[in-house]
Amino acid sequence: MKTIIRIFLVSLLLTGTAQAFEQFEIADIRVEGLQRISAGTVFNYLPLKVGDTMDTEDSVTAIRALFKTGFFNDVYLERDGNVLVVYVKERAAISSIEITGNQDLETEQLLEGLKDIGLAEGRVFDRSLLDKVEQELQRQYFSRGKYAVRIETTLTPLERNRVGILIDISEGRAARIKQINLVGNKMYRDKDLRDDFELDTPSFFSFVTKSDQYSKQKLSADLETLRSFYLDRGYLNFNIMSTQVSITPDKKDIYITINLSEGKQYKIREVTLSGELVVEPEELFPLVRINPGDIFSRKRVTEAVDRISEKLGDQGYAFANVNTVPDLDDENQEVALAFFVDPGSRVYVRHINIGGNVITRDEVLRREMRQMEAGWFSSSKVERSRTRLQRLGYFEKVNVETPSVPGTTDQVDVNYAVTETSSGNITAGAGFSQTSGVLFNASISQDNFLGTGKRVSFAFNNSRINTVYSFSYLNPYYTLNGVSRGAGLFFRKTDADEANISNYSTDSYGANINFGVPINEFDTIRLNTQFEYLELKDSSSSPLEVTSFLDDHGSRFNSLILTGSWSHDTRNKAIFADKGGLQRFSIEATVPESELEYYKVDYEQRRFLRLTKYLTLLMRGSLGYGDGYGDFNNLPFFKNFFAGGVRSVRGFDDNTLGPRDSKGNPIGGAFKVAGGADILFPVPFLEDSDSIRTSTFVDVGQVYKDPDDFSSADLRYSVGISGLWISPFGPLTISLAYPLNDESRDDVQYFQFTIGTLF
């Protein structure tokens, strides 16, 4: 008679009992009920094999092991003689997952999240996982302020033991913050305290900023902002007593109440330095910048700690700790502030490792290093080295890490990782600008020739204004200490009338040789010697200024031109800088006895000030002056300064500001003033904005016949917005400007753009 033993897991878990039966030796194992899962998988998880002696306890263990796999809805065992029969009922497989109604959360993102927790097409369906998914979705929508969200899940049984899952989401409208109440503030108005809050009541820009949508994370950030506000103003005992967030029954409006206690305002009684002062106190005290009698400010204390830590870091103490120990005098509302210095061990650099440079030779990068191997670690030198690599223009990104050397406490490695960008190639192309018209060009250029860091270029450019053939060569490290040497040849034809200037044209050719000498880390002197042959041509419609010049001086000129310049450059990037500045002063003059005798002086300054994480202020200005000498009473008109257009005062046509010739066309002047300010910011809603820069600006400028004619009333102003995109087709500059004080004779141009040459 067949002996049948059936054991259910539910009975085992709830009662802990099972029907007893006589032990037997397993002669064979048979699995029944499988549809998708292979028998080998069951044997792999079953803790029994042929030849084992099986009893009641073994059957309990076997069933638990199979249930634990999550593959089965039901498992029971039977004995057929000495054959163990394992009966299973597989769980359904997920045939499809469909999500509808979701707008805030992308479907692909949701499906990826479901896959991470085991809910994906082809996997075994587990109802408990689906319940967790519903809870997590609800949590995510709550974090977006959508408290009325409804999530409905529909399961559709399919043939071959499969199931289809439909998740239907009704997001509802995000609840809006109706009111934010501050209770307990006596010294400051609600408006002042809430100025820097991320959360706010609905406003005109709320649809963009989402500031009126409640978020627990944003509220926590705002509470910390509120705490910082008071601590930066000396209220050391400030405390947030409680916070209440309530929502209306229709789940549409939210009310936030913050109860606070301001406490008393504290002043600084004294400032001391203690601990192991490996740097002289006379060098550290000026970095504190906090004096007795000042109102206590946590922000200023933090900045002082950073400056002291940076100073210690530059002396090799990379892991220095600077802690502040305040001693409060509650009776007099004063605090004694002590900075405790723990420098740790002096740290040395073991190796400087550079990776990612496939084309650029290692020596090109290493010659930019200011941190040396085997030397003291200096945080400023490590960062300066990174900046110098960025400014080469060969790399899209430069990252640096300083991991400790395993097994040591006083050594680090400095690892630079670079991502190379195209620094030149053989190109042919076309472009367009409003002034120059259609541009044609062909060039062979390489800023990083064969990875050596040398620049070699041959180019042809053609437009309505200019036809240019040029060749140039530059070795930025002609000597080991960074002296550069370059040379070039050029031929240029210019039609000034096409550039909105007087009616004349010039043909010129020449050659030059130049040197650059670094004075220190930020200052460089450059010297250039150039021979130029220039032929001036007039036409029947040329103005009196041109014809008179030809009558007095002729039309052909051989000149030896010397140019000297000094630059002070602290920018963190050559393109799209957001820190530092640039000053440049140059003098250009022909040597005496040249057929042209003149000189020109230029000064330019740019200063980048980071206002916030996303906003940068650019202040800029330039001055130019020139004159003739010897047989030339004035600066030759074809060497004049010009203003107006995308590169100077936007909103006015290129080169049109300033003096005009006898026929009413712009002719430029010997004195130029230009400047302005820009607020630089990333493009909204664009995650990767490394190649795009947008700004709002104010431009000012004018050109005068000479400095005696200068009048601030003649300056032209404009305001507008601008964008610069380093596109695959070359630099694209667009501006929309509105002149503020244009006059009837001015050539106004509200929309201006130029597009570069590559395609």
Report the pLDDT value the prediction gives residue 422, as an integer from 0 to 100.
65
- Return the pLDDT at 129: 75
Cα angle: 426, vertex 428, 430; to 5 degrees: 150
Tell me: pLDDT of 625 over 50. yes
pLDDT band, residue 526 (cuts 50/70/90): very high
Running DSSP on this structure, what letter comes out for residue 211?
A: T
| pLDDT tens profile 408-456 | 888 999 999 998 876 554 444 444 444 444 444 455 667 777 878 888 8
- Let me know: does 616 contact 608? Beta carbons within 8 Å: yes
CB 597 within 8 A of CB 629: yes
More confident call, 489 vs 215: 489
For residue 724, what pLDDT band results from cuts at 50, 70 and 90? confident
Query: Collapsing DSSP states into helix, strand and coil, what is residue 552?
Result: helix
Contact 86, 77 (CB under 8 A): yes
Residues with Cβ < 8 Å from 492, sequence gap 6 or more? 466, 467, 468, 469, 506, 507, 508, 509
46-97 confidence digits (pLDDT tens): 888 888 888 888 888 888 888 888 788 788 888 888 888 888 888 888 888 8
Q: Name the residue among 681, 661, 667 with its Cα closest to residue 638.
A: 667
* pLDDT for the residue 265: 94
Structural domains in the chain plus CATH codes? 9-90 (3.10.20.310), 93-170 (3.10.20.310), 176-261 (3.10.20.310), 270-342 (3.10.20.310), 348-420 (3.10.20.310), 426-755 (2.40.160.50)
Assess whether pLDDT exceeds 90 at residue 646.
no
Question: 355 with 389: CB under 8 angstroms?
Answer: no
Kindly state the tokens that stand for 560.
Answer: 């030896």
Predicted confidence (pLDDT) at residue 376 exceeds the cutoff of 50: yes
Mean pLDDT throughout 525-531?
96
SS (H, E, C) 486-519: EEEEEEEEEEHHHHCCCCCEEEEEEEEEEEEEEC
pLDDT, position 264: 93
Answer left, alpha or beta for residue 140, where phi above 0 means left and psi between -120 and 50 means alpha. alpha
Single-letter amino acid, residue 268: I
Determine which of 10-14, 83-87, 138-142, 600-604 has the lowest per-residue pLDDT on average: 10-14
Q: Is the pLDDT of residue 9 over 50?
A: no
And the tokens for 357? 């440079």
The pTM of the whole model exceeds 0.85: no
Q: Are the CB atoms for 386 and 378 separated by under 8 Å?
A: no
Kindly report the average pLDDT of the chain as a whole number. Answer: 85
Residues 6+ apart with CB under 8 A from 494: 465, 466, 505, 506, 507, 508
Tell me the per-residue pLDDT of 573-602, one tens digit each, with 9 for 90 and over.
Answer: 777 888 899 999 999 999 998 999 999 999
Is the pLDDT assigned to residue 126 strictly greater than 80? no
Calculate helix-pair angle for 216-231, 298-314, nearest 10 degrees.
Answer: 90
Most confident of 75-79, 269-273, 497-501, 682-686: 269-273
In whole angstroms, give the CA distance from residue 636 to residue 627.
8
Please provide residue 186's backbone torsions phi and psi, each rounded to the nearest 5 degrees. Answer: -115, -30
Is 8's pLDDT higher than 70?
no
Structure tokens at 207: 């649809």
Provide the pLDDT confidence category of residue 1 given band limits of 50, 70 and 90: very low
What value does the mean pLDDT take over residues 352-361? Answer: 90
Instruction: Quote the strand ranges of 214-355, DSSP E.
Output: 239-247, 253-261, 267-275, 321-329, 334-342, 348-355
Range of weakest confidence among 153-162, 198-207, 584-593, 595-604: 198-207
pLDDT tens digits along 293-329: 999 999 999 999 999 998 998 888 988 999 998 999 9
Res. 679: pLDDT tops 90 = yes
Q: How much is the pLDDT for 462?
A: 67
Backbone φ, ψ for residue 242 (5° rounding): -165, 160
Which DSSP string corresponds to 159-191?
A: TTTEEEEEEEEE--PPPEEEEEEEES--SS-HH
Question: What does the angle CA 345 – CA 349 – CA 350 come to, to the nearest 5 degrees?
Answer: 115
